[in-house]
Structure formats: C-alpha cells, structure tokens
Copies of this chain bind each other. A is one copy, B any other.
Amino acid sequence: MAITFARRMEGLKGSEIRELLKLTEKPEIISFAGGLPAPELFPVEEMKKISTLVLEESGTAALQYTTTEGFPPLREHIADRMNSKNKTNIDKDSILITNGSQQGLDFSGKVFLDEDDVVLCESPSYLGAINAFKAYQPKFVEVPTDNQGMIMEELENIIKTTDRIKMIYVIPDFQNPTGRTWPLERRNKFMEIINKYEIPVIEDNPYGELRFEGENLPSLKSMDKKGLVVFLGSFSKIFCPGYRIGWVCAPEEILSKYIFVKQGADLQASTISQREISKFMDIYDLDEHVDKIKAVYTRRRDLMLKTMKEELPEGLEYTYPEGGLFTWVELPSHLNSKVIMEECIASNVAYVPGGSFFPNGGKENNFRLNYSTMPDEKIVEGIKRLGVVLRKHMEVEAESL
C-alpha cells in the first residue's frame, strides 16, 4: 500500500492562476485582482465596544458551543433583514449560519451532487463556487449569458436536452465576475422555467445590498413558490469578512440536509463571531454602515470606469456594474489575458485572467477588475499602467491586420 488520495483531489490541484495571483501580493503591485472589501470602512471602534459588551453581558456563553443552526438572535436579525432587503417572507427557522457564503457553496455541492451529476451555471461563473462544487465531481454545463445575465431561452434548451441536472447555480445581482444583474423579466422567466422543471436553485447573493443606482430587484428566493431556491448570504461584503459569517436560507426539507452537513463539517460557526455581529445589529444601524460602503464603492466604480474610458485602447468591451465589486473586460478573441497578465505584473498592475471563471475552459480573452479595494489614486495609476500594456497588444493586433 501507499498514500492514495480520493479521486476528487485530482480536480483540485494548484492552478496556474493561484501561482500567478501570489505574484500580485507584492506591495509595489496595484492589484485589481482580489475581491477584498475596503478595510478602511471596517467598524473597528464599534467592534472594540461590541466585543467587550458581548463578554460582559453573555460571559462564558459567548465562549461555549452553541447550536449547529446558529445563534438564534442572529438568525432572527438575518430573517428580518432578508424580508426587508430581499423581499422574502421567512423566519429564523429558515436560516442556518455558515462560515461565510463559501461554506454554503461547499454544502450545496455536498447536499445535491453525486459524481457525474450536472450543475448548470452562468458562463462565466464564480471561480470559488466552481472549485467548491468540483470536490463532488459533477459535470458543468455553462448557460450562455449576455449583458443582462443568463439567457433564458438557452437555459430551457439546455434543460430539455440534458440528463442528471441536479441544481442550477446563479448570481443574479452584480455577478462575480461580470458585475451583471438580471433584470426583472429574466427573473420571472427563470422562475417560470425552474417551476416547470422543478430544479433546485442556488442563488448566491453576497453583493445584492451594494446597489449604487437603480431599483432593488426581488431575489429569486422571494419569487420561489415551490420550495426550490436556496439563498446564500454573507456579512463579508456588507460588514467585514474576518468573522467568516454567512448564511443559508432554504425551505425546511432542504435546510434540514444542510444542517446535518454542517454538524459533520464543523459542528457550528464561531459562537463569539455570531454574538458580536448580532450585537452590532442590536445597537448600531447596519444600513448606515452599508450606505458608507456604497458611497465609497460608487465613487471608485465611477473613477475606474472613467479612467478606463480615457486610458484603455479602443476595441475592448467592459460591463457597467450597477453595484457590487467587479467589472469584466473582453479583449479581441485572439488575445490571451493570462499571457498579458505576465506583462502586467512586470508593470506592477494585476487583474484576474478570465479563463478560470469558465468551468469547462476555452475562453481566455477576458479578465476581471475589482474596484473596491484600491484607493482612488491607485485606481487611476493602475488603470493607466494597464492601458499601456493593453495598448501595446491591441496595436500589434491592428498592425497585423
């Protein structure tokens, strides 16, 4: 005998991308690669007060085990907030607290996927979700998208012609990586199709509250009449990620499976993290905090897009995100963003090459830019550097035509 790993580990090898991204951590690099929230907005002073208060009021209970489902007052806060922001009509019993919404993704794979089952997702889709699902060895079928998100005619065609579809994974609000949002008609059409074919939906919504303009749209969860939608939420982008607190909101039959999985996976989320966030929501106004975040991100989005217009060469396209953290750039089809990335790093600027966001690969002429992390002056300088590198490639192209 000798060490033999599970077959699933073959799909989870270290990627080139990961190695490339390690290079972006040098301080001289202006990185638009991460998806980090702006740390200067974190409520450090408030949390100093809260952390003392929680230990004063709750004492040892704050340091002890709690239930697998999560700390009940936090689950209540979340249910109330979802009813207000996501137009749902749920109570705390529909909520399981997870370690960020990434854990909700992993659990979704664990609850629904046997090997060779099919997951439908947007093309492109969130890299972290793709990796989480890969551990359960499914097949991915990518549903084509346009500037308004998933194309519903394509979705229905795929459903009609594909066996073993076990779930559909979508990010309808300010998608990662594209920044796109599905309009209401798409949501209605989507739910019509879902209800017709009765397929479980994982609605990933970490950015929904970060809308800079336009009207809030109802979550798919709020339109779910048949108990098919699992909603994943997170405090990482509206509060801070260091607590690793997110949640799953699902119909009872489905949530009970997630709870069993949570029990086996790590018993429960951190008691003290849960109590601190809950206490913050007791005594501070989270809406006010989110407003501050939105003000900064709106300015940075505007600044990035304005600078992109000025500094990037003609012949590429990018999305206009109404919220969230990202814009998505498409280069002419023969260019490879992974190759160009190496030059970018030499010029001390970085993005995430887009290829990894397509679970089945094959598209390399795009990349994701994050505008939430870098201060204004670095946004301008970074986009300028990016412009210089891209211009060179686009000119080579123009010359060779």
A interface residue numbers (CB < 8 A to B):
1-9, 12-14, 36-37, 39-40, 42, 44, 47-48, 51-52, 55-56, 59-66, 98-100, 102-103, 106, 110-114, 117, 128, 131-132, 134-136, 165-166, 197-200, 227-228, 236, 240-244, 253-254, 256-257, 260-261, 263-273
Q: Are B242 and A62 in contact (CB under 8 A)?
A: yes
Excluding A9-B111, A103-B265, 16 further A-B contacts by CB distance (< 8 Å) are: A1-B165, A3-B254, A6-B111, A6-B112, A14-B256, A36-B65, A37-B64, A42-B63, A51-B51, A63-B240, A99-B269, A99-B270, A100-B267, A106-B266, A244-B271, A265-B265
Q: A52-B51, A100-B266, A260-B14 are in contact. Are A111 and B5 (CB under 8 A)?
A: yes
Q: Taking the nearest CB of chain B, how far is it from the CB of A219, in angstroms?
A: 19
Nearest CB of B to A113, in Å: 5
Are the C-beta atoms of A44 and B51 separated by less than 8 Å?
Answer: no
A-B contact pairs, 28 of them (CB 8 A): A3-B198, A6-B110, A6-B112, A6-B114, A6-B166, A9-B257, A13-B260, A14-B256, A14-B260, A39-B61, A42-B64, A44-B55, A44-B63, A48-B55, A51-B51, A62-B242, A63-B241, A63-B243, A64-B241, A65-B242, A100-B267, A102-B265, A103-B265, A128-B267, A134-B264, A135-B264, A244-B266, A273-B273
Residues of B within 8 A of A197 (CB): 1
Tell me, in angstroms, the Cα distance from A263 to B51 when the chains sit together.
28
- What is the minimal beta-carbon distance from A140 to any residue of chain B, in angstroms? 15
CB-based contact A47/B63 at 8 Å: yes
Instruction: Give the residue name and chain of the B residue nearest to A98 (CB).
Output: B266
Report the separation of the CA atoms of residues A198 and B227 in the bound assembly, to the nearest whole angstrom: 48
B260–A198 CB distance below 8 A: no
How many whole Å from A159's CB to the nearest CB in chain B? 8
A264 near B132 with CB under 8 A, answer yes
Tell me which residues across on chain B come within 8 A of A240, comparing CB atoms.
Answer: 63-64
Give the CA-CA distance A237 to B255 in the complex, in Å: 30
Knowing A48-B56, A197-B1, the reply to whether A268 touches B254 (Cβ < 8 A) is no
Bound CA span A114–B241, Å: 33
Smallest CB-CB separation from A227: which chain B residue? B3
Chain B proximity of A98: nearest CB distance (Å): 8
* Residue from B1, B165, B273 in contact with A270 in the complex, judged by beta carbons closer than 8 Å: B273
B39 touches A63 (CB 8 A): yes
Shortest beta-carbon distance from A364 to chain B in Å = 23
Question: By CB atoms of chain B within 10 A, which of A40, A47, A66, A269 has the most?
Answer: A47
CB distance from A172 to the nearest CB of B (A): 20
A227 to B163, CA, bound (A): 43
Contact in complex: A242, B63 (CB < 8 Å): yes
